[in-house]
Amino acid sequence: MRALRARDFRAAAHSAALILLVSAVVLSLLPLFAVPVGGPVAQAVHWTGVVTILGAALACRVLRPEFLDRWAVCTVLALAGVGLIGTLNVLTEDTSAGSQAFYALPVLWVAFHLRATAVALVTASAVAVNTLALLALLPTAKALTDATFFGAVLIVIAALLVRANRMQERLVDALQRQLTVDSLTGLATRRAFDEALETAINRPVPGGTALVLIDVDSFKWINDTHGHPVGDDVLVHLARVLRGRIRAEDAVLSRLGGDELAVLMPGCGREVAARRAEELLDAVRGEPLALADGTLVALSISLGVAHLPRYSRDRRGLYTSADAALYEAKRGGRGRVALAV
């Protein structure tokens, strides 16, 4: 079922309502332009289709987009549109290029908004229905010629739009990764950290929320002595060590900027957070950075730990307390953990 759902269900529902409304208006105006509507049966189908399309447009505006997408309503509407176009073409005995062009509406719409499987299904349906309608109205050779030509056009258009959508999605994913993943360390960015902190505070869990701020001791000395490339290596090494001690399911490890890192631990009590901070400190001490010439650079970090009770939403207070505790750890001699009062 997921393959038949929209890539962006809100955008799909909004545009579906607009396309359906336009289609209903165009269909209702066709008799004014001397387009044959056939006998009573054709007229009944014609106006029933107009009313049905208007109802579908209203439903897309009123019903929740999530509900519509869950039941693949957009795909169903596109298939129904293909069926209605084919039925009207047969009843009105219209085999003109203009009548066949209407198949492009549902195909183009699904190509913009739905996933590749739904696009393939609707496009194949449009080609098949158009072929059957032409075979019913024209000599076989003429029908197959027209159906092949117009079917090829539909398939090429659909394929190009699906390819363009995939390229756009890859670009969006790359941009999103740049916004949420630090390019040097692979840790979460400040933006991702802020979003995680906001979520943790707005959706409190038992145990409250703990925050550990981490600073590399003597980082300026490392840069001045060994060069900035080694400073970058220190951050990468440190990220690897810390990531090995922190499960992604339990905490968010991020680089806030420079050599300042943070560990956000939702559902973690004050004492547990302090104990885990001590474990991180020991892990960093136990794994020095090996340089290319074999030199081992001993690393040390200072950590400030703060805790927010379950129902408190003092986001600024949590960060301020952790920052004050970090300052206390550095003032107390570095290479230690300080717990905020």
Mean pLDDT, residues 202-217:
89
Interatomic CA distance for residues 330 and 277, integer angstroms: 15
Give the whole-angstrom CA distance, residue 102 versus residue 99.
6
Angle between helices 9-29 and 104-113 (to 10 degrees): 170
- pTM score > 0.85 for this model? no
Q: What is the pLDDT of residues 23-38, one digit of tens each?
A: 888 888 877 765 555 6
- Mean pLDDT along residues 26-53: 78
Residue type, position 192, single letter: A
H-only helix segments in the chain: 9-29, 40-62, 65-70, 73-91, 97-101, 104-113, 116-137, 140-180, 190-202, 219-226, 228-245, 270-285, 315-331
- Overall CATH class of domain 190-339: alpha beta
Alpha-carbon distance 40 to 95, whole Å?
19
3-state secondary structure of 301: strand
Supply the pLDDT for residue 35: 52
φ and ψ at residue 257, rounded to 5 degrees: 150, 145
User: What is the domain partition of the chain in residue ranges?
Assistant: 2-180, 190-339
pLDDT in tens, 232-288: 999 999 999 999 998 877 899 999 999 999 999 999 999 999 999 999 999 999 999
How far is residue 276's CA from residue 284's CA, in Å, rounded to a whole number? Answer: 13
DSSP of 153-184, one letter per residue?
Answer: HHHHHHHHHHHHHHHHHHHHHHHHHHHHB-TT
Instruction: Give CA angle at 110 (106, 115), nearest 5°.
Output: 155
Query: Mapping DSSP to helix (H, G, I), strand (E, B) and coil, where does residue 341 land?
Result: coil
Strand order in the sheet with 209-216: 252-257, 260-266, 209-216, 301-308, 337-339
Could you list the active site residues?
A: 259
Is the pLDDT score of 322 beyond 90? Answer: yes
For residue 55, is pLDDT > 70? yes
| CB atoms closer than 10 angstroms to residue 37 | 17
**pLDDT value for 250:** 82
Q: What are the structure tokens assigned to 113, written together?
A: 């908004």
pLDDT at position 38, please?
64
Burial pattern 152-187, b for ≥16 Cβ within 10 A else e, equals ebbbeebeebbeebeeeeeeeeeeeeeebbbeebeb
Query: Would you state the pLDDT for residue 118?
Result: 93
